[in-house]
Amino acid sequence: MKILFAASEVVPFAKTGGLADVAGALPKAIKKLGHDIRIVLPLYGGKIDRAKWGLKQIIANLEIELGENAELVNIFECLLPGSDIRVYFVDSRFFSDRKELYMLGGKDNPQNFEAFLVFSKAVVNFLNELKWRPDIIHCNDWQSGLVPLFVKLQRRKDPAYKRTATVYSVHNMAYQGLFPAEKFGLLGLPETYLGEDALGCWEKISFAKGGFLYADVISTVSETYAKEIQTKEYGAGMDDLLRQRSKDLYGIINGVDYEVWNPATDKNLVRRYTRNTLSLRPENKAALQEDMELPLDPDTPLFGIVSRLDAQKGFDILDEAAEDIMGLDLQMCLLGTGDPHYHDLFRRLRKEHPKKMGVKLGFDAALAEMIYAGSDCFLMPSRYEPCGLGQLIGFKYGCVPVVRLTGGLADTVKEYNPRTGKGDGFVFEDYSAKELFKAIELAVKAYQDQAKWKKLQQRIMAYDFSWDASAKKYITLYMKAIDKVI
């Protein structure tokens, strides 16, 4: 099977969150199954170093219609490091200055509409030049949401696209790519596409609807989230539409790339370890405590957080429970960046509890790995969580997850019972400060029994959440999409 994987972020080139991890790892697992998969992403000029990755230009001045004008884009190519997967980069003037993927000065980049419209059109058009016809174009989130629509339109006029099916994966319903209706003319589509039964959405244009409506098959990143998004509470206004498409909507849990996330080989750790050499792990805890300017105390349980700082992630209940939590015998450390409101919150908590709360505001891949390796628990009190990678990475590093049971967290973390030794983390169901506090309190208690705790760590470290199983499920999904176009 030939597959083109379109994403706006791909590890190791550009990352803001879990999508990048998926895009850098799932294609490798699919390739291992014997398929020809290639990746396409935007060339963020201020972020992706052409020389470092050995990018070569393969197509120059490809014309892309943008309203009345023709935009010229170039296509570059390199191999995904550690693989023989071809990666294509769309080089457009709308991306050429970007240091950040979607933001500029703390706000959405005002050129996002043009940038991702040109990207989506380029994804469809450059295939003509490439003389390589994928059976599947797998699109991800709103940034490539228009691709299924453009493919569908292209199928009508160009037989070469007749057998190309599309899959649209949504990694987070909250991001829908909504833009002012005045920009509609730039899409080059008939007026009818502005209707609420097409791209129109609350009098705006939604790029995500391009995927929800026109993709042959839709997926999201866990079975529970696939159900949740068909409800009012989690559907972000798309629940009606998703219920209508429920026969074409699937949930496949993300995997973890153990070539990247592995405490036995991780170069960013002070001390590497395995489940059989767990006694080495505390060296990482000490280094982390030092880094986070916390007292060097091996016996106090340390709760780590690595997260985008966003309302989704449960920091309002953490804020509400903070005084009670800080009253427990524990330490907490956070690495994150995002909403300035939460930057203020964590700066305040650090100031008020300097011996208990360590805070680093920013994006730091190496420190993130130290947090998984040095913390005793990994905290994810999410309001919603499509899949969540932190808990899965936590398993691999022997960092016991403390999570709210929603989306992928509900599918992957079962409640630990210290009496029977069964289960793999600390969980709570109601989204409330009280329930969060109780879960943390239970974890602190359980940590006192170090013999049992070590057994728990050893068990979760043996779990296999590699991409192999999920990659097979994606192939089945691709077959379903292909069945719809032949």
Binding site for ligand ADP (CB under 6 A): 17-18, 21, 172, 306-308, 335-337, 363-365, 368, 387-390
Which lies closer to ligand ADP via its Cβ, residue 170 or residue 242?
170
CB 438 within 8 A of CB 96: no
Which lies closer to ligand ADP via its Cβ, residue 184 or residue 372?
372
Nearest approach, Cβ of residue 313 and ligand ADP (Å): 7
Nearest approach, Cβ of residue 138 and ligand ADP (Å): 17
CB 136 within 8 A of CB 201: no
* Structure-token match 């891949």, residue found: 365
Nearest approach, Cβ of residue 453 and ligand ADP (Å): 23
C-beta contacts of 190-196 below 8 A and 24+ residues apart: 193/149
Which lies closer to ligand ADP via its Cβ, residue 308 or residue 348?
308
Is the bond into 12 cis (omega within 30 degrees of 0)?
A: yes
Which lies closer to ligand ADP via its Cβ, residue 140 or residue 164?
140
CB 399 within 8 A of CB 302: no
CA atoms within 13 A on the CB side of 431: 13
Closest CA to 441 of 402, 390, 399: 402
Nearest approach, Cβ of residue 140 and ligand ADP (Å): 11
Nearest approach, Cβ of residue 93 and ligand ADP (Å): 28
Which lies closer to ligand ADP via its Cβ, residue 365 or residue 462?
365
Closest CA to 401 of 418, 378, 374: 378
In three state form, how does the secondary structure of 46-104 look?
CCCCHHHHCCEEEEEEEEEEECCEEEEEEEEEEECCCCCCEEEEEECCCCCCCCCCCEE
Nearest approach, Cβ of residue 97 and ligand ADP (Å): 23
Give the whole-angstrom CA distance, residue 245 versus residue 475. 20
Nearest approach, Cβ of residue 255 and ligand ADP (Å): 12
Nearest approach, Cβ of residue 261 and ligand ADP (Å): 8
Which lies closer to ligand ADP via its Cβ, residue 149 or residue 392?
392
Strands 2-6 and 36-42: parallel
Which lies closer to ligand ADP via its Cβ, residue 133 or residue 383?
383
> Chain centroid to CA 90: how far?
21
Assigned token pair, 122: 């380029």
Strand partners, 417: 422
Those residues with Cβ within 8 angstroms of residue 322's Cβ, 6 or more apart along the chain or in another chain: 349
Nearest approach, Cβ of residue 205 and ligand ADP (Å): 24
Which lies closer to ligand ADP via its Cβ, residue 111 or residue 312?
312
Give the whole-angstrom CA distance, residue 166 versus residue 366. 36
Which lies closer to ligand ADP via its Cβ, residue 53 or residue 363?
363
